[in-house]
Amino acid sequence: MAIVTGAAQGVGRTVSLRLAEMGASVVINDIQEDKLDSVAEEISARGGVALAVRADVGIQSDVEKLVAQAETTFGRIDTLVNNAVAYGGVEKSDLNVEVTPDNAWERTFAVNFYGAVWATRFAIPIMQRGGGGVIVNVGSTSGFSGDTVHVAYAASMAAKYSLTRSVATSHGKRGIRVNAVASGLILSPTAQQNLSPEKLEAYNANLLVDEFGETEDLASVITFLAGPESKYITGQTIIVDGGFQAHQPWHAQNHIVHPQAPI
């Protein structure tokens, strides 16, 4: 049995569908109720079992009710995917440390970090009663690199990866395995709508692969980490970004910086 937060669209939707196809009953969560119900119907139409629970993971009492409802309905929790992210709602105000307002910091950390803390806190005892469990924290490569904007978002991602290592260490011998996935640009339907051709061209120039990643590419890594094939992997953050973090920042301008480099 699995819980997936932020499951109404994009990566969360794809992960939920994959887990259901693998035989898991899935509790899917989001604040977008109509889209969430649509995902539940899609899972059911494919022969899976899904329960849609509207909850705001940035509110502790909502998270506690979400986890309790999962246990009440299915009797156990084997997998928790902390995928919900606050970004779009605060993106325009989350700029740099001088100007980003406190409410943007608070909302970003409430969803991106504390949401994972609370879900992990409430799920672990249930997992242990069932013999153990797996947690996958989903984040962004922003947690590794500085940028000129989105300071709160980046800080919340870094905190999420530290949480991953700490829980893997403190609870590994208690049957809890924890990993994280740091995502680069994923060309989801929402990203395709929001990114201009100029932005996509800039991103593409720094890819080390031929195509942008899609939701299935990230979901395959998440479900791998959630499954038994990855039983010897814990406390890790797996970067899935088409090679962005692998090269020097002037990769796209290599012909200028290193003209002597062989083509």
**Which are the catalytic amino acids?**
153
Q: Which amino acid is at 125?
A: P
**Which tokens belong to 194?**
């929001």
Length of the chain measured in residues: 263
- Strand ranges (E), 185-260: 237-240
The Cα 240–Cα 257 span in angstroms is: 26
DSSP single-letter state for residue 57: T
Supply angle C-alpha 91, 155, 68, rounded to 5: 85
Instruction: Return the DSSP state at 186.
Output: B
Task: Please give the Cα distance from 10 to 215 (Å, whole number).
Answer: 6
Return d(Cα 168, Cα 179) in angstroms, integer: 8
Distance of CA 257 to the CA centre of its chain: 35
CA-wise closest residue to 219 among 55, 7, 63: 7
* CB proximity list for 75: less than 8 A, separation 6 or greater: 1
147: burial class by Cβ within 10 Å (0-12, 13-18, 19+)? Answer: exposed
